[in-house]
């Protein structure tokens, strides 16, 4: 590649050649060959020379354009950084560091202004809104270990004080597809129960399909562990002999279950938890949110942004785009959800289960609540499939005997007292 004109010729040399052309001493074709430029460029130079021969020059300095942000944007960056400082200094709020990405999103959300992350970090360091890391971060390898969507669903819950103004901690339940990093389910609940986790399964299975496997820790909702989940010193059942309610749903749907041996082994879902926790806490603190309903609104906004707008740091793709592309390319292990006989309703799959024996009065007892059951012989075992509804305050109990639905009844949630579920 030929060097630029100003690097090959001085101003005087170019002027001399132009004068020879004007005096018709040298042909144009010869000059173009010497200067190694196009015809159009030559006549541009000739025009500039004729306009002002004394100031003509082919030398130039590349001007470095510095794009300055407006005074209003500067003020908004400082305003948001000051809010962050007050939150960090408040001992009642569990925030120890600045989150510059969050500030960037807030500036766009509140003021409809776009500003780069390095700009915010630069202003923060210059104006004293910066806290150096106290501990050295451990290096970890982040990679996708699965080849298909639905191959592995990371599922867990986190108990955290998401709002400094709330009296209690809440539980965050999420399900994350390992391949796409799409968050398939996310919900905040005041008290964690097996039923809440069953509702998470119902949402994923009915909207996305049945995955190949789930990956969870050894929480008592997911796994019975001998020596931990019983108050009696003599154990009649060992680990994994007793089947928790949540696992029974997976068994019915033929979904494999794998247990993680440590939180470190579940890094993919632990990092989104920390990310969500941090953002929910900051927003609740800024907006004075006190109720779980208000925090759920924040959660929905953050999950939508994470799934549909944010490029994931590991996959370098937006989760929903990666998920949908895998579907188109048939890189999926998701199966269509179907109700298998003898059942005919999703209520018989996504439910709490227990067994009772019909007493001489044709009744069963659940937590001291007596219920009369028809269609089942005395002293025979009947299977109960229980579906609570928090909105109506009623629980539907479906009675099964020898693979037949023999009765259906509704009772108040308070009368049934399913606290242990």
Q: What is the pLDDT of residues 374-407, one digit of tens each?
A: 889 999 999 999 999 989 999 999 999 999 999 9
236 vs 63 pLDDT, higher one: 63
Q: Please check whether residues 324 and 209 belong to one and the same domain.
A: yes
Q: Please check whether residues 278 and 396 belong to one and the same domain.
A: no
How large is the average pLDDT for residues 120-126? 92
Q: Categorize the per-residue pLDDT at 291 as very low, low, confident or very high, splitting at 50, 70 and 90.
A: very high
Q: Please check whether residues 234 and 367 belong to one and the same domain.
A: no
Q: Please check whether residues 218 and 270 belong to one and the same domain.
A: yes
Strands 213-216 and 153-160: what pairing? Answer: parallel
Q: Please check whether residues 9 and 96 belong to one and the same domain.
A: no
Q: Please check whether residues 162 and 260 belong to one and the same domain.
A: yes
How large is the average pLDDT for residues 247-252? 95
* Residue 286: domain span: 153-328
Within a domain: 271: yes
Q: Are 172 and 273 in contact (CB under 8 A)?
A: yes
Type and span of the H or E element at 205: helix 194-207
Average pLDDT of the chain is 86
- What is the total count of domains within the chain? 4
Residue 351: count of CB within 10 angstroms of its CB: 24
Out of 282, 299, 328, a domain closes at 328
Given the structure tokens 């019909």, which residue do they identify? 358
pLDDT at 102 over 60: yes
Q: Are 231 and 171 in contact (CB under 8 A)?
A: no
Within a domain: 222: yes
Q: What is the CATH number of the domain that holds 197?
A: 3.30.420.10
Type and span of the H or E element at 371: strand 369-372
pLDDT at 289 over 60: yes
How large is the average pLDDT for residues 33-56? 88
Out of 90, 110, 127, a domain closes at 127
pLDDT (0 to 100) of residue 143: 59
Q: Please check whether residues 291 and 360 belong to one and the same domain.
A: no
Q: Please check whether residues 15 and 158 belong to one and the same domain.
A: no
pLDDT at 83 over 60: yes
pLDDT at 235 over 50: no
What gap in Å lies between CA 103 and CA 117, rounded to an integer? 9
pLDDT (0 to 100) of residue 91: 83
Q: Please check whether residues 238 and 92 belong to one and the same domain.
A: no
Within a domain: 64: no
204 vs 311 pLDDT, higher one: 204
Q: Three-state secondary structure along 123-180?
A: HHHHHCCCCCCCCCCCCCCCCCCCCCECCCEEEEEEEECCCCCCCCCEEEEEEEECCC
Q: What is the pTM of this model?
A: 0.75
The tokens for 123 are 């202003």
Q: Please check whether residues 43 and 180 belong to one and the same domain.
A: no
Q: Are 260 and 217 in contact (CB under 8 A)?
A: yes
pLDDT (0 to 100) of residue 301: 95
pLDDT at 293 over 50: yes
Q: What tens digit of pLDDT does each residue of 264-273 get?
A: 555 555 667 7
Say which range, 115-119, 132-136, 220-224, 349-353, has the weakest mean pLDDT. Answer: 132-136
Q: What tens digit of pLDDT does each residue of 183-231 get?
A: 999 999 999 999 999 999 999 999 999 999 999 987 788 876 655 455 4
pLDDT (0 to 100) of residue 240: 41
pLDDT (0 to 100) of residue 31: 85
What gap in Å lies between CA 18 and CA 391, rounded to an integer? 89
**What is the distance of C-alpha 101 from the center of its chain?**
15
Burial zone of 77 (CB within 10 Å; 0-12 exposed, 13-18 middle, 19+ buried): buried
Within a domain: 145: no
Q: Please check whether residues 194 and 319 belong to one and the same domain.
A: yes
Return phi, psi of residue 239, to 5°.
Answer: -50, 130
pLDDT at 134 over 70: no
Residues 6+ apart with CB under 8 A from 406: 373, 374, 375, 376, 382, 399, 400
Within a domain: 135: no
What sections of 360-416 are H helices per DSSP? 413-416
Q: Categorize the per-residue pLDDT at 99 as very low, low, confident or very high, splitting at 50, 70 and 90.
A: very high
Within a domain: 138: no
Say which range, 68-72, 232-236, 334-338, has the weakest mean pLDDT. Answer: 232-236
Q: Are 3 and 35 in contact (CB under 8 A)?
A: no
Q: Please check whether residues 42 and 185 belong to one and the same domain.
A: no
Q: What tens digit of pLDDT does each residue of 138-188 get?
A: 544 455 679 999 999 999 888 888 998 998 999 999 999 999 999 999 999
Within a domain: 165: yes
How large is the average pLDDT for residues 83-91? 90
Out of 296, 328, 360, a domain closes at 328
pLDDT at 80 over 60: yes
Within a domain: 340: no
């Amino acid at each position: 590649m030929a060097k630029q004109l100003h690097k090959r010729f001085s101003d005087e040399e170019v002027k001399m050649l132009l004068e020879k052309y004007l005096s018709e001493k040298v042909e144009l074709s010869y000059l173009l060959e010497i200067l190694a430029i196009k015809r159009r460029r030559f006549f541009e130079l000739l025009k500039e020379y004729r306009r002002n021969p004394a100031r003509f020059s082919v030398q130039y300095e590349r001007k470095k354009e510095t794009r300055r942000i407006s005074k209003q944007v500067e003020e908004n960056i400082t305003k948001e950084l000051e809010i962050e400082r007050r939150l960090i200094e408040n001992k009642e709020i569990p925030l120890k560091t600045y989150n510059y990405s969050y500030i960037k999103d807030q500036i766009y959300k509140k003021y409809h202004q776009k500003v780069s992350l390095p700009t915010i970090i630069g202003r923060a360091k210059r104006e004293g809104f910066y806290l150096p890391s106290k501990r050295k971060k451990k290096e970890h390898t982040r990679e996708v270990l699965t080849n298909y969507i639905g191959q592995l669903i990371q599922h867990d819950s986190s108990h955290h004080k998401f709002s400094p103004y709330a009296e209690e901690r809440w539980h965050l339940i999420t399900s994350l597809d390992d391949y796409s990093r799409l968050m398939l389910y996310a919900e905040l609940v005041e008290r964690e129960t097996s039923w809440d986790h069953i509702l998470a399964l119902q949402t994923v299975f009915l909207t996305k399909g049945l995955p190949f496997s789930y990956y969870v820790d050894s929480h008592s909702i997911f796994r019975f562990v001998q020596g931990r989940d019983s108050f009696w010193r003599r154990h009649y059942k060992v680990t994994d002999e007793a089947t928790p309610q949540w696992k029974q749903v997976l068994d019915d749907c033929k979904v494999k279950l794998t247990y993680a041996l440590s939180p470190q082994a579940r890094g993919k879902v632990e990092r989104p938890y920390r990310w969500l926790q941090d953002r929910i806490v900051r927003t609740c603190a800024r907006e004075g949110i006190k109720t779980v309903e208000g925090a759920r609104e924040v959660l929905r906004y953050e999950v939508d942004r994470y799934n549909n707008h944010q490029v994931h740091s590991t996959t370098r793709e937006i989760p929903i785009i990666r998920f949908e592309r895998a579907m188109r390319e048939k890189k999926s292990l998701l199966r269509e959800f179907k109700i298998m006989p003898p059942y005919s309703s999703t209520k018989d799959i996504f439910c709490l289960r227990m067994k009772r024996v019909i007493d001489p009065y044709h009744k069963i007892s659940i937590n001291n609540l007596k219920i009369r059951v028809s269609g089942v012989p005395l002293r025979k075992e009947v299977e109960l499939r229980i579906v609570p509804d928090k909105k109506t305050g009623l629980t539907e109990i479906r009675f099964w005997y020898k693979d037949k639905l023999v009765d259906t009844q509704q009772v108040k949630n308070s009368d049934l007292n399913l606290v242990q579920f």
